[in-house]
Amino acid sequence: MQITLYQCGDDPRTVRKTLQNAIVISAEIKEACSTETPDFFVAYDDTIITGHYNYAEAWGRYYYIGDPDLVPGQGMILHGRHDVLMTYADQIGGCPAVIRRSSALPNTYLDDPQLPVAAYRLQQVLTFADFAYIPQAVIVCVG
């Protein structure tokens, strides 16, 4: 089978990752494994190690690639871990959702318990027109 290796510098939490410098290599599955965490057996290649290839695409799915195991006899095992965000990015896009935190579309009037505030308080004083106290004497009398 063919798998495509990429270099990926994005945060793992990025849904649509930017993949660079793709290389296509042959790989084999030699032992039973799941498609969630497959182990790809590939021929030893310096480029994979020195190039820090950390991402792979196989079966239309995307995988994080961890530190490869070097196998005697010029082989390498690439441990894959399924990136469900990238794999299903297009489908996720059409899903109804409710978002509660966003860096792009904030509603600053909602309460945010995570926002740090200082314990002390700042004062502001707004004054109205004062009573200049120009007194007016008033007598109330009967007469």
Partner 1 sequence: MQVQLFRGSYGQDPQSFTTCSFDFTDGTAGVDYTAPTVTETTVLPSGERGKVCYFDVPSAGMDRLTGYSTDPASTQNLAAQPQARIYQEGDTWICDTMPDAEPLTIGEQPEDWTLHYRDRYYTRSTVSAQGFGGSIYIYYAAGATYNAAAQYYRYDGAQVMYYTAGHGFFGVSRYFRTFTTNRTRFYELCGNLRRVADPGDVPAGVTDPFIWRSEGATGSALVPMSLSGATIQGDVRSDLTTAAGTLSGRMLQQLVEFEYDGTEYIGIVYIQRSLDGIATNASITGVSLTFWRGEPPRPNYGRSSGISYGVGTFSDPSTPVGVPPMQTALTSTDYGAGMHIRLLSTYDQQGSPSGLTILMRELWSTTGFWSIWRNLRYDPLSAIISLHMIPHPLAPIYSGSELTIALTKITVPNGIPGSRLIDIDKGTVQIPEYYGSRLDYAPHTQAEIYLPFCGEYPLDISDVMGGSVGVTYRIDIATGDCVAFVLGTDRRGLTTISKQYKGNCAYRIPVSGSDNGGAGLMAALSSMVGGTVGMAAGNVVGGAAQIIGGAAKAVTAPVHTTTPQVQGSASAMGVLTPYIKIYRVEQQRPEHYADLIGDTAAIGGSVEYVDTYAVTGYTVFESIDLSGVVATDAEKDEIRRLLQGGVYL
Q: Which residues bind partner 1 (CB under 8 A)?
A: 10-11, 13-16, 36, 82, 84-85, 87-112, 114-143
Q: How far is the CB of 56 from partner 1 (least distance, A)?
A: 17
Q: How far is the CB of 113 from partner 1 (least distance, A)?
A: 9
Phi, psi of 26 (to 5 degrees): -90, 145
Instruction: Give the pair of three-digit tokens for residue 61.
Output: 């799915």
Q: How far is the CB of 65 from partner 1 (least distance, A)?
A: 18
End-to-end CA distance of the chain: 117
Give the separation between CA 64 and CA 46, rounded to whole angstroms.
Answer: 19
Q: Which residue's CB is nearer to partner 1, number 73 or number 133?
A: 133
Q: Which residue's CB is nearer to partner 1, number 73 or number 113?
A: 113
Q: How far is the CB of 46 from partner 1 (least distance, A)?
A: 32
Q: Which residue's CB is nearer to partner 1, number 46 or number 132?
A: 132
Q: Which residue's CB is nearer to partner 1, number 32 or number 98?
A: 98
DSSP 8-class letter at 20? E
Three-class HEC string of 32-69: CCCCCCCEEEEECCHHHHHCCCCEEEECCEEEEECCCE
